[in-house]
Amino acid sequence: MGSEVPCSLVSGRSTLIQRRDDARAESNRIAGEVRAAGKAGEDTSSLVERARELKAEIALAEEDHKKVEGELRAFLLGVPNLPEDRCPDGDSDEFAVEVRTWGTPPAFDFTPADHVDIGERIGIFDFARATKLSGPRFVVAKGVGAQLERAIAQLFLDIHTKRHGYTEFSLPALVTRETRTGTGQLPKFEEDLFKTGIGDRELFLTPTAEVPLTNLHADEVLAADDLPLAYTAWTPCFRSEAGSYGRDTRGLIRQHQFAKVEMVRFCDPETSSQELEKMLGHAEACLQDLGLAYWVVALPAGDISFSAQFTYDIEVWLPSQQRYREISSCSDRSTFQARRAGIRVKSKDGKRGYAATVNGSALPIGRTLVAILEQGQQADGSVVLPKALAPYLGYARINPDGRTS
């Protein structure tokens, strides 16, 4: 069925175009005959009647053509990007291939606690009151917890803007249907999205800053000499986490609302692989500055997202689970999003083509905080914080009673 449907739509579209064009050609011919007959004083009633019939035929053909174009576009919007040949084979994270590791997972002479127990014990998380406010899969961070979230985000933004040359943006959290279609979430994943509206105005909550950052240049033509463009933003993110119920329901791993620093790069399609490697290094720099042990894996073809052609995942070590868990995905989207959003590039010689987009998380604040608490926990119940956060916080340790020093 996957091949029959588009073939019938394409052939039907071609037939309608031919029917419309034939009717237009005949209409033009009839119009010339009417003018000639009129000048000669001949009866034009039959020609005029045929002209009316052709006008109706053209209108009907255009209406049918518009309908088929809509069906064809809807079908094409449901077709995913094609994975690169270099993607590992497989259809789940079990087939991911290790690329490299960094740091040494901490060893403890006690049973490490998970971030929920640590955070509630030192008084920086309140899950019960968050549930009272909004239901499950939300958290209230208070005191030092709120300070930590802000400090982590500021560190990441400084790394990207001051060290790696990204331009920072402050963005809307509500976007249009066209915006989410441009990056690939619509129409395929509409049931998984948070949306709202007033009257007949429909808006979607952003799942990541990738959506508004990429669509900043929707329906625009970029100058090739200006590429690559590197953008970053710290935004709230909203996700239904459909299909993940029963998994990671405890704590900060899968929340309906969380904050994240995102990176997006616009580049020439010929350099997107190199830009992906560069972006991966920028994401890794965040974890390296924090001294958090992690590894990088290449995702298999069957496990990459709808709009990606190649994806690296960075997974950080969580002592409570004795395993690496995803903290960042960096993906090469090639020209997939640019084609949907109409983002073109013009070279000096006037040639035009589509841009390529690359995006990555660097990093989600909540999952980073999870790793900081778990890798930094001490036998006495305190938490030693990464030195890189000291300039933003003014302290380096959270004591067992929740006080800082």
Active site residue 329: yes
Which amino acid, 260?
K
Active site residue 69: no
Active site residue 239: yes
Catalytic residue among 272, 307, 329, 331: 329
Active site residue 326: yes
The reported pTM is 0.87
Domains within the chain, CATH numbers bracketed:
4-77 (1.10.287.40), 93-398 (3.30.930.10)
C-alpha 401/C-alpha 183 separation (Å) is: 46
DSSP 404: B
Catalytic residue among 53, 57, 84, 326: 326
268-298 pLDDT, tens digit per residue, is 999 999 999 999 999 999 999 999 999 999 9
Active site residue 201: no
236-261 pLDDT, tens digit per residue, is 999 987 655 555 778 999 999 999 99
**Mean pLDDT of the region 44-70:** 82
pLDDT at 245: 53
Catalytic residue among 180, 265, 333, 367: 367
Catalytic residue among 137, 239, 265, 333: 239
114-127 pLDDT, tens digit per residue, is 999 999 999 999 99
C-alpha 124/C-alpha 24 separation (Å) is: 72
State the DSSP string of 78-131.
TSPPPPPTTSPS-SSGGG-EEEEEES-----SS-PPPHHHHHHHTT-EEHHHHH
**Mean pLDDT of the region 16-38:** 82
Catalytic residue among 24, 177, 254, 344: 254
221: CB partners within 8 A, 6+ apart: 344, 345, 346, 352
